[in-house]
Amino acid sequence: MRKESFLWLTLASSFVVLLFVTVPLLRMLTAPSLASLWETIRDPEVYRSIWLSLYTGISAAAICFVFGTPLAYLLARSEFRGKKLVEAIVDLPIVIPHPVVGIALLGLVGKNFWLGRIMHELGLQIVGSPAGIIMVMTFVGLPFYLQAAKEGFASVSPRLESVSRSLGASMFSTFIHVTFPLAWRSILSGIIMCCARAISEFGAVVIIAYHPMIAPVLMFERFQSFGLRYSQPVAVWLIVVCLLLFLSLRLVGSSSRKSESRGRA
Amino acid sequence: MSLRIENLAVDLGEFKLQDISLTLEDGDFFALMGPTGAGKSVLLEALVGLVPQSAGEIYIDERKISHLPPEERGIGIVYQDYALFPHLSVLDNIRYGLKFQSREKSGLKSNAERMQVVDDLIPLLGLGHLLDRYPTTLSGGEQQRVALARALVVKPDILLLDEPLSALDPNFRQELRTHLKNLHQASGATFMMVTHDFSEALSLAQHAAIMAQGKLEQTGTIEDIFRRPTTAVVADFVGMKNLFKVEFSATKACCEEVEFKVGRQPESGSGYIAIRPEDLILSKTPLISSLQNSFAGRVAAIRSHGFFYEIDLTVKTLTFTAVITNHAFFDLEPAVDSNFFLSFKATAVHLI
């Protein structure tokens, strides 16, 4: 009897949690009329901002991929003094409040710091530019990429690398031919996670670059100036983009499970 | 090619290899044996160059390789779990090493020659029907044959095998032993195999070494190690169940109240003697023969092992273990607490 009531409790709370996540999203998705959605996406300001969000997010993920992959490999493969500290440092962007990230980065590239002044002299525009947006997005997206890539590398047996070396492949060739292809699924998941996280960033971006407007900033501005009704269609378009990304993440995950079970048969 | 290891040492913190010196002749099949945790696998990895060595040198013929990275040593390794590349087909696994071989070093001048090596190995190992499959769909024995082919394609000077047969179904071991033996002859490479199993070593290898706690205990022919262990660790490992601490005097050895005739003059005043259980002869009456050691004893325990029996016999304060065939068992009909005579030659007593 008690076991049964516990079962009901778990079912009920699961139901509440699912509703809590889905109802606001469904409400928002169904609020704008098709006509207003159509009108919104034809608005140059809207599609420019969504495109900006997309390409800065993808650029940030690409930067994380290029610079984060070697670090992820190192963290997965070697034990060294201070490894825990390094891991804590790369996880910092997750726990720092977003506006704090923006302020910290602005303090570095703004005109009241020598680095920012030098960059300004050289004509490198960070504040209020896509470059600044990409910098912020890279900062907040990096831990998500590193975590996934590290797990991917850790799942590749070091023995496969040893065998490859004994067959004449250098460390680099071994990485290219064995480690990377075997960790690829996790790396791809990491890229998608990182990208999704980057696109969703608002608090840090708005401090570094209010203009040009990424989609979340545009949404905020329309909400402030015109009200909920005008920000909803933009939100719908952005959420469609995000859902497409997450959907592809899920597809990658499930196709890897399928090939594993095929392998075991 | 020959492999020469001189005073090799490896320091992994909690585990150390010390002062390993070993020579493998060209074309040798060498068995490296020892209890679990002896450091056999660490030695293999040090030879491949995957574990940094703290001292010593390794030579292949006269070429010093101890300072080279794994990819330049010419030493192949086949792991116990085979470590096949799961993302590559069987054929791509086998061909993997070819793309990294520099032409001068491998002695394989043209691509055609390289492909010929692949084409020769595939039927030799019976892999023709598996080439398009992926490793995870193969049985253990099939995986092992792929791993062997992959290692041999690059014509290594030395091939290291880490417990090649232990992960297989016992029914297939004999078949794969034969495969290994044929491959060794066909490839002409020098093989070094880690094994726990003495019968495996006896059937495959010519020379062997016993390792314990990071050190080599004894090196020599299989026969020598089996018949003439030089240290207590080796004697215990190879199954010398009758191991006694003795005091020597002239050609006699005394352990507590039992006096053994040992045939030759030992060097030191005290030491160990070892007698193989199968060298002990049980009889109901004293044997009048050239057997110089004969004792009266009482059966303490009988254990059946299928094809043979192990019998513990108490002689005064010592316990001997003898091995007799089923046939001899039914002739003698030994029972616990019955009295028997135990005889063995002086030459069957090993001085350690």
pLDDT in tens, B65-115: 999 999 999 999 999 889 999 999 999 999 999 988 865 555 555 777 778
Residues B29 and B146 in one domain: yes
What are the DSSP calls for B305-322, one per residue? -SSEEEEEEEETTEEEEE
B229 phi, psi to nearest 5 deg: -65, 140
A160 and B96 within 8 Å at the Cβ level: the answer is no
Q: Judge if B165 and B31 occupy the same domain.
A: yes
Considering the domain architecture, whether residues B47 and B111 belong to the same structural domain is answered as yes
Count of structural domains within chain B: 2
- Residues of chain A found within 8 Å of residue B101, distances taken between Cβ atoms: 168
Tell me the C-alpha distance between B42 and B82, whole Å: 17
Are B77 and A157 inside 8 Å of each other by CB?
Answer: no
Question: Could you say which of A160, A163, A169 has the minimum Cβ distance to residue B100?
Answer: A169
pLDDT digits (tens, 9 = 90+) for B281-300: 888 888 776 667 888 999 99
- Considering the domain architecture, whether residues B99 and B131 belong to the same structural domain is answered as yes
Is B119's Cβ below 8 Å from some Cβ in A?
Answer: no
* Partner-chain contact B136 A165, CB within 8 Å: no
Q: Which residue of B has its CA nearest to A157?
A: B83
Distance of residue B125 Cα from the nearest chain A Cα, in angstroms: 19
CATH number of A40-264: 1.10.3720.10
**Domain assignment of residue B91, yes or no:** yes
Number of A–B residue contacts, CB under 8 Å? 70
> DSSP states of A24-89 as a string?
HHHHHHHSS-HHHHHHHHHSHHHHHHHHHHHHHHHHHHHHHHHHHHHHHHHHHH---TTHHHHHHH
Nearest CA in chain B to A256: B87
Assess: ipTM above 0.90: no
The tens-digit pLDDT sequence of chain B (352 residues) is: 899 999 999 998 888 898 999 999 999 999 999 888 888 989 999 999 999 899 999 999 989 999 999 999 999 999 988 999 999 999 999 999 998 886 555 555 577 777 888 888 888 888 999 999 999 999 888 898 899 999 999 889 999 999 888 777 777 777 778 888 888 988 888 999 998 777 678 778 889 999 988 899 999 987 788 767 788 888 777 777 787 888 888 778 888 888 888 877 776 677 778 888 888 888 888 877 666 788 899 999 898 877 788 888 999 888 888 888 888 888 888 888 999 999 988 888 877 6
User: What residues of B are in contact with residue A165 (Cβ under 8 Å)?
Assistant: 48-50, 69-71
Domain extents in chain A: 40-264
Q: A177 CB near a chain B CB, below 8 Å? A: yes
Q: Does B96 sit within 8 Å of A263, measured CB to CB?
A: no
Closest chain A C-alpha to B170 CA, distance in angstroms: 22
DSSP per-residue letters across B231-287: SHHHHHHHT--EEEEEEEETTEEEETTEEEE-SS--SSSEEEEEE-GGG-EEESS--
- Indicate if B155 and B249 belong to the same structural domain: no
Please write down the long-range contacts of A110-115, taking CB distance under 8 Å and 24 or more positions apart. Answer: none
- Domain boundaries, position B216: 3-227
User: Is the same domain home to B285 and B190?
Assistant: no
A261 interface with B at CB cutoff 8 Å: no
8 Å CB contact of A178 and B85? yes
Does any domain span residue B233?
no
Residues B142 and B89 in one domain: yes
